Every structure is written in structure tokens, then in C-alpha cells.
Structure 1
Amino acid sequence: MTHKTDSDDPATIDHGRLSGILAFLQAAEQLKDTLRSGRTRTGRAESTAEHSWGLCLLVVLFGRDLPGIDVEKLLKLCVVHDLGEAISGDVPAPAQKSGDRRRERERRDFQSLCAPLPSALAGDLLSLWDEYAEGRTEEARLAKAFDKLETMLQHLVGKNPPDFDFSFNLAYGRRETDFHPLTRALREKVDELTRARLDERRPTPARGG
């Protein structure tokens, strides 16, 4: 025998709340068309939504190697960290400059994106965004580390332009990836793969005849 609860009664559903969440989801869908400088293995420009998916997949795969870490929160941080880019787009790392107020703009865009949501839910998401941006918890700092690793891995697997500089990987995000023993070890592996790609590009010495 089953028992009905209040949630089984359509009259108790907050339809305004549902509408607000659906409006947010439709606005956030723009992230699928927000392109990054990275390339997929076919040479197509990668979207920020695809990057966020890859980042979350990394966390899922290594979650059990992170004792003491709130993996659910870590995943939430990874999901929301780039959502503001749905409005004003991505700025590639080489084009980012000190004093460009990028964080302020992305936070403002994220607030605008969250406007249709119920206030409590919007507040929860904004709190997560701030936690990531400020790197004030272990989970936030890990999210930043995995974010850098995912970007470097995409550089390695993507079909890049002939003049792509793989040495960029070797200096990129080292402060973030050195934060935790796991991400530091992963960084070493990614650096090995990067050096291998650089070796492939070096011209073969001509043989004397």
C-alpha cells in the first residue's frame, strides 16, 4: 500500500518556482554556443559547456582519491564556475590581463543569469560562484586545479592549428595544480605528454651524406 504525500498533490506544486528554474535553464543553454580557444579532436572549436562537462568527468573519475573532500560540492563548483560566460563569452588565458575586471563582469553576468531563479536558489548558486572565484575552500582550490588540467588535456587531444604552441601547457596554471598531491601528480603526467608532443614537432636532424 502506498501513501500519498503533499508533493503528490499538483495543487501543492509551486509553479512559479518551476517556471523560474526552466527560464534559468533555457538562458544557461547559451553556454553550449559559447566557444573557447581549445579545439576538439576534429578541429572544431570547443564550447564552454563541453569544457565544464570534461571538468566534471575528471572529478567523478578521481573523487575516490580525494579523502576528506566534499565531492558533491566540488562537482557543483565545477558546474557553475564558468556559467557567467554564457552572457559575455570566454576570454582565452593569453588575452587575460591584470586589472581587466573580468571577475567582476563574470559575476555580474552570473547574477543576471540567475535572475529568474527563486531567491534562495539564486543565492546558493552565487555563493558557490564566489567560493570558487575566491578559492576560499579546499574544494574551490581543487576545482581550479582540475579546471587547469582539463584545459591542458584538451590542448593535447585537440586538432590544433599548425602553429599551436604546446609549450604554453608547461607554464599554465602551475600554482593551481601544485595545490594538492593528486593534482600535482596528474600535472606531472600531463607535462610528460606535453613534452612528447613538443618532441614530435622538433625537426629530425639531417644525416650527412
Structure 2
Amino acid sequence: MTAEDIARTLAFLREAERLKDVLRSGRTSGGRPESTAEHTWRLCLMVLVFARELPGIDLARLFRICVVHDLGEALSGDVPAVDQAPDDGRAARERADLEALVAPLPDDIRTGILSLAAEYEAGATPEAVLAKGFDKLETILQHSQGANAPGFDYAFNLDYGRSRTDAHPLLAAIREQIDAATRTRMG
């Protein structure tokens, strides 16, 4: 890697650091809004601790997809799940933001990240299916344990991302336990 490539890569990493300040609607167990970076960290941790239950899966690819799945949020932020709509333009905006974010990177790295993001968005490979499912599971897990504001709609979690979490037996089994915790929180 040339000195120029290192400088361009560092420029990208400096911009990606913004994910640490992009806040989501979920709250930590201490009551603080979680960041997109924190969500992505625990998403990757979930994959790590359940990896032995995923025979035949390219784990390195799954981790890479998980790491890049929300990178586009570094520029325009996160849209809470309850505010998302199928044709709200969010996907196109996040793709444009991701393209701007990775622009400084060397061509091969930029192309690789964009390819992983497109794979996640399409959700057609086994690794992308799992990434999407684990992404939903991490979100509802956070909602089930976070110190949420009064009036938080726990019932929303019981249907949120169901098609994604029903796509693999392991995801469905994890979902069953998180849903039980959600029902307990609902009282």
C-alpha cells in the first residue's frame, strides 16, 4: 500500500468515525441512546458467539457484511424502524451516502465495500440473509433490555423483521427467546 493509499484510507476511517455519534432510537440498559457503531459492534458479537451454529457459512464474508451494513448512516443518520416505509427513499440515500463515504478509498477496497453493501441490500446470499436476520435480532434485543422512554411500543418488536428472522432456524430460535423477554417487558 502506498503512502497515498494509506492517507486516503485514513481519510475514510476519519469519516466513518461519525458512526460513533449517529444515535439510534434504542436505549442502552443505562438509558443512553445507542449509536450505530455500538449496534454494529454487538451485531458482530452476536455472529461471533453463534458462529458454530452456522456450518457452511462463509463467516469472514458474514462479518464483513455486518461491518458495512450501516456505514451509509455515517452521513445522514439512522431512521428508526417505526418511521421507515418501503418506498421512503432511504435505501437510495444510504447508498449515495455510502458511495460518498468510500470515495477516498483505493479502488479495490471501495469496490469491495460497495459490493458487500449491495449484497446485504439484495439479501439473496446465505450470508446476507443471516446478516439481515441478526441485524433485526440485535435491534429487538436492545429494545428488550434498554431503559426505554415511557410509552415505548414493545408490541412493535413482536412483528419487526419477522420475515428476516424466520429465514433461518437459528434466527427463529433466538427470536423466540427475545420475543419472550419482550413480552415480559410489556407486562
Find the counterpart in structure 1 of residue 183 from structure 2. 195
SS of the equivalent of 1:108 reads helix
Determine the C-alpha separation between the residues in 2 that align with 1:168 and 1:75: 27
SS of the equivalent of 2:82 reads helix
Identify which of 158, 166, 174 aligns with 1:186. Answer: 174
Deviation of 1:41 (Å)? 1.0
Find the counterpart in structure 2 of residue 146 from structure 1. 134
Superposed, 1:53-202 pairs within 5 Å as 53-199=41-187
SS of the equivalent of 2:34 reads strand
TM-score by length of 2: 0.98
Deviation of 1:153 (Å)? 0.6
Runs of at least 4 residues off by over 4 Å: none
TM-score by length of 1: 0.88
Deviation of 1:98 (Å)? 2.4
Report the AA paired with residue 21 of structure 2: D
Determine the C-alpha separation between the residues in 1 that align with 2:113 and 2:61: 11
SS of the equivalent of 2:119 reads helix
- Computed over aligned residues only, the root mean square deviation of the Cα atoms, in angstroms, reads 0.8
Identify which of 38, 47, 52 aligns with 2:40. Answer: 52
SS of the equivalent of 1:69 reads coil
SS of the equivalent of 2:25 reads strand
Find the counterpart in structure 2 of residue 205 from structure 1. none
Query: What 5-or-longer segments of structure 1 have no aligned partner?
Result: 1-12, 200-209
Deviation of 1:136 (Å)? 1.8
Determine the C-alpha separation between the residues in 2 that align with 1:31 and 1:173: 23
Report the AA paired with residue 46 of structure 1: E
Find the counterpart in structure 1 of residue 20 from structure 2. 32
Determine the C-alpha separation between the residues in 2 that align with 1:195 and 1:136: 31
Superposed, 1:13-24 pairs within 5 Å as 14-24=2-12
**Whose Rg is larger?**
1
Report the AA paired with residue 94 of structure 2: E
Deviation of 1:100 (Å)? 1.2
Report the AA paired with residue 104 of structure 1: A
Percent identical among aligned pairs is: 57
Report the AA paired with residue 29 of structure 1: E
